[in-house]
Amino acid sequence: MFRRILASFLFAVCLAGSLSAVEHEVGQKEKKFTVENLKVKVGDVVSFPNYDSFFHNIYSLSSEKIFDLGSYSQGQTKKVKFDKAGKILVECAIHPGMKMTIDVQP
Ligand SMILES: [Cu+2]
């Protein structure tokens, strides 16, 4: 009985957590990110749609969130969930001038 209550409580907590998570968009347009500095909360998701007619390869080497989305073409979107607080520098492996920061707040 207790286990069942605990299980449904944990389920409710997970559900509430996923409902409060927000999705943000950082596009790639004309070799630039559409947002230079983005503030998000832990648990939020950022989508990275490519609006250019050429490839981008979005990545981060910041220790709080290391990722590499690989190269992808126009119309494709990749998503990253930020699960740890910190300042993340996001770059493009194909275009060294492309940089933006994501401030993940607790
Ligand atoms: Cu690029």
For the chain, what percentages of helix, strand and coil (3-state, to nearest 5) are there? 20, 45, 35
pLDDT at 2: 58
Cα-to-centroid distance, 66 and ligand 1 (Å): 17
Residue 7 pLDDT > 80: no
pLDDT at 32: 98
Cα-to-centroid distance, 32 and ligand 1 (Å): 7
| pLDDT tens digits, one per residue of 40-91 | 999 999 999 999 999 999 999 999 999 999 999 999 999 999 999 999 999 9
Mean pLDDT score of the chain, rounded to an integer? 90
pTM: 0.82
Cα-to-centroid distance, 86 and ligand 1 (Å): 23
Cα-to-centroid distance, 58 and ligand 1 (Å): 7
Q: How would residue 21 be classed by pLDDT, with cut points 50, 70 and 90?
A: confident
Backbone angles phi, psi at 19, to 5 degrees: -70, -30
Residue 17 pLDDT > 60: no
